[in-house]
């Protein structure tokens, strides 16, 4: 709760800081804000509390995911340096929007009431619609913003409709009350409940970019400026999947049988479309968009069971995925800016011109592909183990086969960097971004070598 208040205030304060002539001060200020918010979040660790007549509560689950989101934002910001250099006149607004989106995200992981979930989704989404169009002279960015806004608001409407139907069926907005009502009534004779559940489910799967509601992802990701794409595919996705997990476990855990086949079907479809779609891409950015779809699929595997094992696995995976994705997008930003293209070919020979960037990218790709020595491997291992404990053997076989497909497209970048001839100059990277990249690698490897440190937090 403190982090929600702090970040809201910081977001407004930051707008005033933006009136200053020099834009140089903005990034340090926002980094400081985020660090304070992260610290404030950690104070709630092991101190569960509820606010607003229990509409919102902080427990270790919400603190854990809030920390992942704030940390991700901290890691993303240094890559926005080119805006500072360019003296972008709207920089303060961009940063404030990120902070506001973060507030929405925190509400999405700590809600106890569906209205808070809705408000959280709206706060986050509206900030992201604007952010997607922030490169306003670029037609792709405009397209991204328009698409995201139209489809996003449509699906927000569906969620709201679903919430209304759930209220009609159960007479409640609170997760616990819905759970009690849902187990009391026979779901098969209550189409209102099932319809409401289905509509909310569809809305949330849209927000995390799961198939078949994924069509916006590649276009929006491609058009959005890379720094903000990185925010979309990490913070927004983490908030979405945590909200999804909380919704299903707290409100609909009792009527598991009703929605479970649907969720498994969505998971399998997401894995197939994400991975096979990524194979066909020639643009690194679009590949990462499809990869984020596929990771939504892996994350949804956590929904096969609701216990400590799956909660921890979800947190571990979210963190591992977020830091690897931030590193990948961060390097993509530098390479894309320097070589004027987001294609794989832009990475040719990066191993010779920029050994550090190439190395970080390699670690990030290995992590996303789930190869040992990186956090991504243990993330997959924990998630798959949680599902196997429930006997979901076929689901895991699909997931394992799709991981093997994943290796194919992640390694195309590695091959381009190390096994193709260089076509370009050395790319200059500022010290703060270099430091961030090194921290990301250290964290990824740490998660891959001593996973015990991160695997039992909740």
Partner 1 sequence: MLTALIILWPALAALLVLLVKGDGARKIAFGAALVELVLGVWAWINFVPNASTQFLLNEPWIANAGIMFKVGIDGISLLMVLLTVFLVPLIILSTAKHRYEKPSSFYALILFMQTGLLGVFTALDAFVFYFFWEVALIPIYFIAGMWGGENRVRVTFKFFIYTVFGSLFMLAAFVYLYFQTPGTHSSEEVAFYQLVLDAGTQSWLFWFLFIAFAIKMPVFPFHTWQPDTYTTAPAAGTMLLSGIMLKMGIYGALRWLLPVVPLGVSQWANVVLVLAIIGIIYGAIIAIRQQDMKRLVAFSSISHVGLIAAGLFTLNHHGLQGAMIQMLSHGVNVVGMFFIIDIIQSRTGTREIAAMGGITQNTPFLSVTFLVLLLGTVALPLTNGFVGEFLLLMGVYQYNAWMGAVAGLTIILGAVYMLRMFQRVMFGEKNEITQGFTDLTFNEKAVLVPLVVMVFWIGLHPNTFLTISEPAVLKLLDVIKR
Q: Which is nearer to partner 1, 86 or 400 (CB)?
A: 400
Least distance from partner 1 to the Cβ atom of residue 419, Å: 5
Least distance from partner 1 to the Cβ atom of residue 397, Å: 7
Beta-carbon contacts of residue 52 (< 8 Å; ≥ 6 apart):
116
Q: Which is nearer to partner 1, 70 or 346 (CB)?
A: 346
Least distance from partner 1 to the Cβ atom of residue 282, Å: 17
Q: Please tell me the distance from the alpha carbon of residue 322 to that of residue 233, in angstroms, as a whole number.
A: 8
For helices 308-339 and 60-76, the axis angle rounded to 10 degrees is 10
Q: Please tell me the distance from the alpha carbon of residue 112 to that of residue 54, in angstroms, as a whole number.
A: 7
Least distance from partner 1 to the Cβ atom of residue 334, Å: 22
Least distance from partner 1 to the Cβ atom of residue 277, Å: 19
Instruction: Provide the binding-site residues for partner 1, judged by CB under 8 A.
Output: 312, 351, 366, 371-373, 377-378, 381-382, 384-385, 388-389, 396-397, 400, 403-404, 407-408, 411, 415, 418-419, 450-452, 455-456
Q: Which is nearer to partner 1, 58 or 403 (CB)?
A: 403
Q: Which is nearer to partner 1, 389 or 423 (CB)?
A: 389
Least distance from partner 1 to the Cβ atom of residue 273, Å: 21
Q: Which is nearer to partner 1, 267 or 312 (CB)?
A: 312
Q: Which is nearer to partner 1, 183 or 307 (CB)?
A: 307
Q: Which is nearer to partner 1, 9 or 397 (CB)?
A: 397
Least distance from partner 1 to the Cβ atom of residue 316, Å: 10
Least distance from partner 1 to the Cβ atom of residue 268, Å: 17
Q: Which is nearer to partner 1, 57 or 403 (CB)?
A: 403
């Amino acid at each position: 709760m403190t982090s929600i208040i702090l970040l809201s205030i910081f977001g407004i304060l930051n707008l005033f800081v933006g009136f200053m002539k020099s834009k140089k001060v903005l990034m340090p200020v926002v980094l400081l804000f985020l660090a304070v918010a992260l610290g404030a979040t950690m104070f709630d660790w092991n101190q569960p509390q509820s606010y607003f007549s229990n509409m919102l509560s902080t427990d270790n689950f919400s603190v854990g995911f809030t920390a992942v989101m704030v940390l991700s934002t901290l890691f993303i910001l240094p890559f926005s340096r080119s805006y500072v250099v360019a003296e972008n006149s709207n920089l303060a607004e961009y940063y404030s929007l990120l902070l506001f989106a973060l507030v929405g995200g925190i509400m999405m992981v700590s809600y106890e009431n569906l209205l808070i979930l809705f408000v959280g989704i709206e706060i986050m989404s509206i900030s992201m619609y604007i952010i997607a169009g922030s490169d306003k002279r670029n037609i792709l960015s405009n397209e991204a913003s328009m698409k995201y806004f139209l489809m996003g608001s449509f699906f927000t409407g569906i969620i709201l409709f679903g919430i209304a139907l759930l209220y009609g069926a159960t007479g409640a907005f609170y997760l616990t009350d819905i759970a009690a009502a849902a187990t009391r009534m026979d779901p098969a004779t209550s189409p209102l409940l099932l319809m409401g559940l289905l509509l909310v489910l569809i809305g949330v799967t849209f927000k995390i970019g799961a198939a078949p509601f994924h069509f916006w992802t590649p276009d929006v990701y491609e058009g959005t400026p890379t720094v903000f794409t990185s925010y979309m595919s990490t913070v927004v996705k983490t908030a979405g999947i945590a909200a999804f997990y909380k919704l299903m476990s707290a409100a609909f855990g009792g009527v598991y049988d009703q929605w479970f086949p649907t969720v498994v079907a969505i998971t399998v479809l997401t894995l197939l479309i994400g991975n096979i779609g990524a194979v066909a891409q020639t643009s690194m950015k679009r590949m990462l968009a499809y990869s984020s779809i596929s990771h939504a699929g892996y994350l949804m595997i956590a929904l096969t069971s609701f216990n400590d094992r799956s909660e921890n696995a979800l947190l571990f995976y979210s963190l591992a995925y977020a830091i690897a994705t931030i590193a990948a997008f961060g390097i993509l930003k530098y390479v894309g800016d320097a070589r004027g293209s987001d294609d794989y070919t832009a990475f040719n020979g990066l191993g010779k011109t920029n050994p550090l960037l190439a190395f970080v990218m390699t670690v990030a790709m290995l992590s996303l592909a789930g190869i040992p020595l990186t956090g991504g491997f243990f993330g997959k291992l924990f998630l798959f183990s949680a599902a196997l404990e429930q006997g979901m053997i076929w689901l895991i076989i699909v997931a394992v086969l799709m991981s093997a497909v994943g290796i194919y497209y992640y390694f195309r970048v590695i091959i381009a960097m190390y096994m193709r001839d260089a076509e370009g100059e050395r790319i200059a990277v500022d010290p703060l971004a270099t430091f961030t990249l090194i921290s990301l690698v250290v964290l990824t490897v740490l998660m891959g070598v001593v996973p015990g440190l991160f695997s039992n937090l909740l």
